[in-house]
Amino acid sequence: MNHRIQFIFICVQIFYLSFLFAAENEYQFEIITTRNGLSDNDIRAVTDDRYGFVWLATDEGFNRYDGYEVKNYNSNPFDTTALSGNRIWDIFKDQDGDVWALTDKGVDLYHYGKNSFQRFATASRPIFLTQDKEGLLWIATKNSGVYTIEKNTGNIVNYRFTPSDPYSISSNSFDENQCNPIVVDTSGNLWIGTTNGLNYYRKDKDFFTRFLSLEYYQNSISGNHINTLLIKDNNIYVGTSQGLDKINIGDLSITRLAGTSWISMLGTYSVKQLLDFGPNPTMNGFWMATTAGIVYYNATFDLFDDLMWDYIFGQNINKMYVDPSGNLWVDVLAFPGLTLFNTAVFFAQMGLVLDNNFKLLQPDKNGVLSETTEPSSFTNVKVNDLYFDEMNNMWVATRVGLNQKIKTTQNFKTENNLNGSNVSAVKIAPDNSIWAAHENGVDQLSEDGQVIKQFTADPTNANSLLNKETGPLAILNDGRVWAASQSLGATLINPTAKTYQRFYEFIDETSGSKLQGKVNSIFQEYVKNQNGPNYENIWFATTAGIIKCTMPEHTENAPKFSVYKYEDNVQNDYLSRPSAILRDLETGELWVGTESTGLFRIKMENSSRYVNDRQIKYEKIELVKHYIIDKNDPKSFSSNSVNTIVSDVNNNIWIGTSGEGLFRYNRENDNFDRWSIDNGLPSATVVSILSDNSGGIWFGTRRGIARLHADGSVRVFDNSDGLPADIFNARAVDINDNGMLYFGSVQGLTRVNPSEITINEIMPKLAINLIETIDYEGNRNFIEFTNNQLSIDHQVQTLNINFVGLSFNKSAKNRYQYTLDNYLNNWVDNGTNRTVTFQRLEPDDYTFQFRASNNDGIWNNNPYTIGVRVKPPIWKTWYAYTFYFFAIIGLSASGFYGVDRLRRKSLENKRKDHELAEAREFQLRMIAKKIPDYEGMDIKAFMRTSTEVGGDYYDFFELEDGSFYAVCGDATGHGSQSGMMVSITKAGLAGIESNSPDDILNRLNKVVRRVDTGRLRMSLSVCIFKNDKLYISAAAMPPAYLYSAETQSAEEIEIRNLPLGGLENEQFELVEKSFSKGDVLVLLSDGLPEAPDLEGNLLDYQPVMDCIEKTAHLGAAQVKQALIDLADDWLGGSKNPDDITFIVFEKQPDEDKKAQKELEEKDYKKVAQA
């Protein structure tokens, strides 16, 4: 009975383990090639270092990959800190996690903080590198013996064969076909296998004991060409082309195993590689690669046996690898690719081999590995190396690139059978069929995506859709479908009867009132009528008002409409272009969102009126509440434009808006919680919302799809997750009975099953990519950060730190935060940007820290820390202060001169004050005397000078064709120095005749260069407006901000160039943008975004951009005032330390601007007074 139970248990265990292997995700790979930055596609070796960087050995140099980009390192015979050779044969990772490159000329150690190499030359090419227990490195070379290197001291020793010395190594030769020719035993001594004999090196005796093959002497090794070595259980196993030997480390006795303990089924005993079973506690032994397959040794039973599988048994094995789970990966000579043997059942059942425990992975024509059922040798894509890093990433080095296993596959799948691409609506029918509306009509698909029926418009056939451009959908309980047109009206489709009812307009059956409008959304509710038949209410939110459509259960009855039209002279803003409607199941009220007048709660009240002495009963709308922004209440509803309103499984009300993000209604307090970009939203425009079966909230935006978790965190999905587009359409979302979610985008319909989404739980590793400084001449200099400390001179203008979170899984979605202790008081969200810039740090000691999240928002909260020291000028050093001390003592003896010195200092201060006043007056004379009046353009300008006069400047120049260009600039320095720089710039501009901003800057740069201004420089933006276009170029200026009236969003125009007077041959970039009616452009200096509050925190650029985006639709004057208010609120009454200057341009419709001129003149007087 016990044996039967045991047998059943074993069978269940085998079935379970086999099922797990079969149920594993498919092995999918992506390839990295020269197109991604590799110096060569033929990769000989791959490994990572302690920081997480992946290193690749190629014939064209050493490559470092960080998940974003590849950095190439090449040799330079004239630079001893560069690689010693470009041809890298192998890579070794030492006990400290540092990497060594094996080149033609020796081995090179990479120094992380110095970004350089330390060379160790060898007389012939190194073949193999390893490290003993004491940290000493051992190098086997092609034909110059063995070298040792002490890493800390750099001492190098060469051990060579000496014919006259029997205690020298037996041979100087090694070859690249050997596998692990040097191993360290449990005593710390070394075993070294050459091409002519085995050597035992006693470190305490410092001599070699040789083991050679003697033909007629059994107590010798089986062959002199040593292929592989393995230390196991106080024995060393020696693999040769003639067999396998075991040497007892204690007494050095030799046992030949080939033909005795190991009987080959094919009579072949050539051993190429020995490999321990790896991280597995249930079975002790090792793998043996031979020219006739794989043999395994079970140490528990002292048993050798062949691994019996069709595509391994009898095959010449190139190489074997063991992954962190103990699985075996095999490179077979006969065909390219890899064979995976899942060892779970094998180890659990002491050697049981099942066919379904194997997988074949072969490269396609592009070199990308994928699963196959039959091996093929159609391609010569050889696998050179396989590596698993500490984050369980799998890397396969091949002749045509680097394969990386995709750990998290794309979660979203796109429906490919639609007749259109711009999916404006999606609805799921009770049978889980999919109805999708698009620019070519309506499609009905089966749950698996096959076409059932396609509906379109035919102008010659009334029994068709009203228009082919179709919008919102509603599926009725009786199977009929409402399909709204994207222009006017809607069509009622009866798929069963194949009939269409077109409604160009909707007529109120009670009043006879007619309504025509585009249907923005449809809300449907099922009503159980106790006094009659049940029915459905269909609510249409249209551009002209709201329509209530009562649909009787029987299809032969016509729909009945109640019309609620918007009228200008009536207080019914809730009917002004409503965009979304929802019934609140708890209160029975209706929520109505509009395109421009905000959010409303309304209720339907029964009423009546008499017509010709006949009482007519009807429903009228009563306003319950209009939700508008309250600046004193952060929980108020702050958007005028509502895209969608939905309720989740808990009857929570969610509202998606344009520009203000996502809101959730709090019933108890009658207010709202809000999620914005600051809370992780990918976009401030939320167009669709859906609750999944687990209560998770999903929403489509203009920058992908996001999921809100119960803890308030947001996970974002983008193109890397399989989305067909970034922009999703309003309210185009639904869920089927199986929990599958569907989203309509401008490029197709996509679906996702939330239960199948996996989360990457592995935190990224943190490292510094590069630290550099930029001086006043624009020269870039690499800065060493050895021991995570760096030091820079006080004269450094700019410090750039480029950092990285290493996860290698959709790295573009990794996010970053940083801080600089002694400069910043909190952590700054850097988004996905991996670079931070600090300008003109004062001499002091700082601590820079950064942290990163992976693609799924898992943060590494153990920040990377690096010390930053800005060295003071020589007159502020300790030895300078010592000199001052003794100088003061000496001068104190001449104290009677003090009164005269004070008098001179007072006069000097008065002179400086007078000079400062003149500089401020000069600066105001340099700016435009009057804001120009150009037809169709509203221009507002503002300047507030600082205490020291910062050198800001703006002006306007008219061109011969009637167009004009504007400039906004900032000169370095203060007072008269900056004034001089501005005057040079103004004079230069006056003498340049050009209508291209980049040409203006190129020519102006040469003018400034010809004037000896020392270290003074001029930053300048130049913008020209022509024919609904703007052309802009800039020299080291902050970004400009362009607001589009069409998209109701602002974008940043950042142009990276050096300031004027930097490099003589600097070429300035030109950017062209459309500039239509209602669009707004803002040019500004760095005075506003870099303004400090009372605690020293800088305002930053994002709040400026947000302010512009929120107010630009109100016009240039409102943007100007909002930016002034922003500056005043942030400064808190303190004086701005740098000039604050900006110009606002608004493209206006053609209209009378006399009133505008008067206002501009008043604004200019205020600016001049400031």
pLDDT in tens, 540-568: 999 999 999 988 766 667 788 999 988 87
Average pLDDT over residues 168-173: 97
Q: Which residues contact 889 (CB under 8 A, 6 or more apart)?
A: none
The tokens of 460 are what? Answer: 């010659």
Lowest mean pLDDT among 371-385, 547-561, 820-834, 1151-1165: 1151-1165
> How many whole angstroms separate alpha carbon 435 and alpha carbon 33?
42
Q: Choose among 704, 778, 668: nearest CA to 1019.
A: 778
- Decide if pLDDT at 921 tops 70: no
3-state secondary structure of 492: strand
Q: With contact defined as beta carbons under 8 Å apart, do 1018 and 1000 qualify?
A: no
pLDDT score recorded for residue 511: 82
pLDDT score recorded for residue 532: 61
CATH architecture observed for domain 765-876: Sandwich (2.60)
Query: If pLDDT is split at 50, 70 and 90, which confidence band does 828 have?
Result: very high
Query: If pLDDT is split at 50, 70 and 90, which confidence band does 531 have?
Result: low
Of the two residues 1146 and 1056, the one the predictor is more confident about is 1146
> How many whole angstroms separate alpha carbon 804 and alpha carbon 811?
10
DSSP percent split of the chain into helix, strand, coil, nearest 5? 15, 40, 45
Q: Choose among 108, 95, 93, 121: nearest CA to 61.
A: 108
pLDDT score recorded for residue 1166: 38
Name the percent of the chain lying above pLDDT 70.
89
pLDDT score recorded for residue 172: 98
pTM as predicted: 0.71
Partners of 802 in the beta sheet? 770, 835
Average pLDDT over residues 269-288: 91
Digit-coded pLDDT (tens) for 836-878: 999 989 999 999 999 999 998 899 999 999 999 999 887 776 6
Q: How is 406-440 classified by DSSP, letter by letter?
A: -SS----EE----S-S---EEEE-TT--EEEEETT
> How many whole angstroms separate alpha carbon 395 and alpha carbon 63?
14
- Decide if pLDDT at 1158 tops 50: no
Query: If pLDDT is split at 50, 70 and 90, which confidence band does 892 have?
Result: low
Average pLDDT over residues 425-438: 96
Average pLDDT over residues 757-764: 90
pLDDT score recorded for residue 884: 67
Please return the burial class of 722, using the count of CB atoms within 10 Å of its CB with bins 0-12, 13-18 and 19+. Answer: middle
Query: CA distances (Å), 630 to each of 450, 636, 661, 1128, in order?
Result: 50, 6, 17, 20
CATH architecture observed for domain 33-121+381-407: 7 Propeller (2.130)
Average pLDDT over residues 620-649: 93
- Decide if pLDDT at 367 tops 70: yes
pLDDT score recorded for residue 1056: 86
Q: With contact defined as beta carbons under 8 Å apart, do 788 and 865 qualify?
A: yes
Please return the burial class of 840, using the count of CB atoms within 10 Å of its CB with bins 0-12, 13-18 and 19+. Answer: exposed
The tokens of 337 are what? Answer: 């690719």
Average pLDDT over residues 65-69: 97
- Decide if pLDDT at 22 tops 70: no
Query: If pLDDT is split at 50, 70 and 90, which confidence band does 1062 have?
Result: confident
3-state secondary structure of 1166: helix
Average pLDDT over residues 463-481: 93
- Decide if pLDDT at 27 tops 90: no
Domains 33-121+381-407 and 915-1169 are alike in CATH topology: no
pLDDT score recorded for residue 891: 63
Average pLDDT over residues 886-896: 64
Please return the burial class of 1088, using the count of CB atoms within 10 Å of its CB with bins 0-12, 13-18 and 19+. Answer: buried
Q: Under CATH, to which class is 915-1169 assigned?
A: alpha beta
Digit-coded pLDDT (tens) for 935-968: 888 999 998 887 655 678 899 888 877 778 899 9
Query: If pLDDT is split at 50, 70 and 90, which confidence band does 358 have?
Result: very high
Helix axes 997-1010, 975-990, angle to 10 degrees: 130
pLDDT score recorded for residue 12: 43
Average pLDDT over residues 614-630: 83
Digit-coded pLDDT (tens) for 640-682: 999 999 999 899 999 999 999 999 999 999 999 999 998 889 9
Partners of 271 in the beta sheet? 290
> How many whole angstroms separate alpha carbon 707 and alpha carbon 730?
16
Query: If pLDDT is split at 50, 70 and 90, which confidence band does 974 have?
Result: low
- Decide if pLDDT at 14 tops 60: no
Length of the chain: 1170
Pseudo-torsion of CA 531, 532, 538, 542, nearest 10°? -70
Of the two residues 882 and 238, the one the predictor is more confident about is 238
Query: If pLDDT is split at 50, 70 and 90, which confidence band does 196 have?
Result: very high
How many Cα atoms sit within 13 Å of 841 on the Cβ side? 27
Residue 564 identity? Y
Domain limits of the chain? 1-27+260-376, 33-121+381-407, 125-251, 765-876, 915-1169
Q: With contact defined as beta carbons under 8 Å apart, do 202 and 167 qualify?
A: no
Q: With contact defined as beta carbons under 8 Å apart, do 939 and 1116 qualify?
A: yes
Of the two residues 532 and 119, the one the predictor is more confident about is 119
> How many whole angstroms separate alpha carbon 1081 and alpha carbon 1053?
10
Query: If pLDDT is split at 50, 70 and 90, which confidence band does 909 have?
Result: low
- Decide if pLDDT at 714 tops 80: yes
Q: Which of 496-500, 523-527, 661-665, 952-956 has the highest mean pLDDT?
A: 661-665
> How many whole angstroms separate alpha carbon 740 and alpha carbon 434?
11
- Decide if pLDDT at 355 tops 80: yes
- Decide if pLDDT at 7 tops 50: no
> How many whole angstroms separate alpha carbon 882 and alpha carbon 784?
30
Digit-coded pLDDT (tens) for 1097-1144: 889 999 999 999 999 999 999 999 999 999 999 988 888 888 899 999
- Decide if pLDDT at 286 tops 60: yes
Digit-coded pLDDT (tens) for 120-156: 999 999 999 999 999 999 999 999 999 999 999 999 9
pLDDT score recorded for residue 512: 85
Mean pLDDT of all residues in the chain? 88
Average pLDDT over residues 6-33: 57
Residue 335 identity? F
Q: Under CATH, to which class is 125-251 assigned?
A: mainly beta
- Decide if pLDDT at 615 tops 80: no
> How many whole angstroms separate alpha carbon 895 and alpha carbon 387?
77
Average pLDDT over residues 425-429: 97
pLDDT score recorded for residue 404: 96
- Decide if pLDDT at 894 tops 60: no
pLDDT score recorded for residue 747: 96
pLDDT score recorded for residue 860: 96
Query: CA distances (Å), 557 to each of 187, 490, 497, in order?
Result: 95, 18, 14
> How many whole angstroms separate alpha carbon 578 and alpha carbon 548?
13
Query: If pLDDT is split at 50, 70 and 90, which confidence band does 15 have?
Result: very low
- Decide if pLDDT at 314 tops 90: yes
pLDDT score recorded for residue 848: 98
